[in-house]
C-alpha cells in the first residue's frame, strides 16, 4: 500500500524563498499550491483589469462573483503565467514567472515587481483563451491561399488617395496587412456597441488616432472591405466574432453598456 505523502505548510516562506522552492523536487508540489494561494490577490487584480478592457469597454469589472465576462478565464491564464504548470502525461510543463525569478536576480526586483514587469502579452493570452471557450479562433490569420492577393491589394492601397492623405498629414499606415488583421480581429472579439467596427479602437491599435476622424474611418472601413474581397475566409471569422460580441453588447444587462451610452462613447 503506497504511503501518503505528507503535505508541507510553506506559508512561512518569503516570496523569494517560495520561488526557489519551486525548483526543489521535494518541495515543488507544496510550493506550487502555496504559490497558487498566495498570488490569488495579484491574479484577481490583473484579471479584472483585462476583463475591464475585453468585456466592459473600460468600465470597472467587479470580479468573478458579479461578472459573467472573461474574468475567470483571465485569472486562470494569469495564475498559469505566474506559477507555471507542471508536466502531466504527454502535456509539457510551462515555466511561470515565479520560477524564472531565481534565474534573474540581477534584475534587482523583488518577486511581485518582477512579475508585474514581465506581464506583457497576458491580456492577449486571456483574449485568446476566451476566444477558444466561445468557439472562436484564438487569433485570426490570413490563409496561405488568401495571403498573396490580400497583401498585393493592400500594397496597392498604400498608393491610393486616402493613404496619400495620411502621409500628407504626417502619419503612416501599417506596412503589413497582418497588423490590420490583428487590430480588426481583437476589436471584433472584444465587446462593442451597435457599430460593426469600433473605429476609435482599431485606430488606436494601428496608431492612426491623430488623423481626422473622417479620414480615419475611411481607412479602417476600406481595409475591412479589402479583406472581405480578397480574404473571405478570414473576413468570415471577423464577422462571426462581431455577430457574437455586438449581440452581447445589445443586451442591456451587459455591465458598462449603459454607462457607455450615457457617456457618449462610440
pLDDT at residue number 255: 45
> Cα separations (Å) of 222 from 43, 95, 163?
39, 42, 10
Q: Which of 62-66, 126-130, 261-265 has the highest mean pLDDT?
A: 126-130
Rounded to an integer, what distance in angstroms lies between the CA atom of residue 86 and that of residue 94?
A: 6
Residue pair 35/18 in contact (Cβ under 8 Å)? The answer is yes
pLDDT one-digit tens code per residue, 12-48: 998 989 988 988 888 888 999 999 999 999 999 999 9
pLDDT at residue number 257: 43
Q: Enter the C-alpha cell of residue 143.
A: 490563409
Rounded to an integer, what distance in angstroms lies between the CA atom of residue 110 and that of residue 259?
A: 39
Task: State the residue for C-alpha cell 508536466.
Answer: 87
pLDDT at residue number 2: 43
- pLDDT at residue 64 greater than cutoff 90: no
pLDDT one-digit tens code per residue, 68-85: 899 999 999 999 999 998
Comparing 175-184, 211-220, 239-248, which segment has the lowest mean pLDDT? 239-248
pLDDT at residue number 6: 52
Residue 117 CA to its chain's centroid (Å): 17
What is the gyration radius of the CA atoms in the chain, in angstroms?
Answer: 22
Rounded to an integer, what distance in angstroms lies between the CA atom of residue 188 and that of residue 202?
A: 10
pTM score, two decimals?
A: 0.83
pLDDT one-digit tens code per residue, 139-153: 999 999 999 999 999
Helix (H, G, I), strand (E, B) or coil at 151: helix
Amino acid at each position: 500500500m503506497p504511503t501518503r505523502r505528507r503535505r508541507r505548510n510553506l506559508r512561512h516562506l518569503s516570496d523569494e524563498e517560495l520561488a526557489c522552492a519551486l525548483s526543489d523536487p521535494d518541495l515543488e508540489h507544496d510550493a506550487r499550491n502555496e504559490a497558487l494561494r498566495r498570488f490569488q490577490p495579484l491574479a484577481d487584480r490583473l484579471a479584472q483589469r483585462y476583463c475591464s478592457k475585453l468585456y466592459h469597454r473600460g468600465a470597472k469589472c467587479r470580479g468573478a462573483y458579479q461578472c459573467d465576462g472573461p474574468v475567470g478565464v483571465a485569472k486562470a491564464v494569469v495564475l498559469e503565467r505566474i506559477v507555471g504548470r507542471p508536466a502531466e502525461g504527454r502535456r509539457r510543463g510551462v515555466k511561470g514567472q515565479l520560477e524564472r525569478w531565481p534565474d534573474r536576480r540581477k534584475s534587482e526586483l523583488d518577486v511581485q515587481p518582477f512579475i508585474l514587469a514581465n506581464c506583457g502579452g497576458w491580456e492577449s493570452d486571456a483574449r485568446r483563451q476566451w476566444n477558444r471557450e466561445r468557439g472562436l479562433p484564438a487569433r485570426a490569420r490570413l490563409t496561405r491561399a488568401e495571403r498573396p492577393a490580400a497583401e498585393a491589394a493592400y500594397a496597392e492601397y498604400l498608393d491610393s488617395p486616402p493613404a496619400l492623405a495620411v502621409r500628407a498629414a504626417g502619419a503612416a499606415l501599417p506596412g503589413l496587412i497582418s497588423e490590420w488583421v490583428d487590430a480588426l480581429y481583437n476589436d471584433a472579439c472584444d465587446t462593442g456597441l451597435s457599430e460593426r467596427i469600433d473605429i476609435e479602437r482599431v485606430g488606436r491599435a494601428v496608431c492612426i488616432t491623430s488623423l481626422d476622424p473622417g479620414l480615419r474611418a475611411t481607412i479602417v472601413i476600406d481595409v475591412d472591405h479589402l479583406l472581405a474581397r480578397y480574404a473571405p475566409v478570414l473576413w468570415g471569422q471577423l464577422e462571426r466574432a462581431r455577430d457574437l460580441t455586438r449581440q452581447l453588447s445589445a443586451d442591456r444587462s451587459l455591465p458598462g453598456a449603459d454607462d457607455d451610452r450615457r457617456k457618449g462613447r462610440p
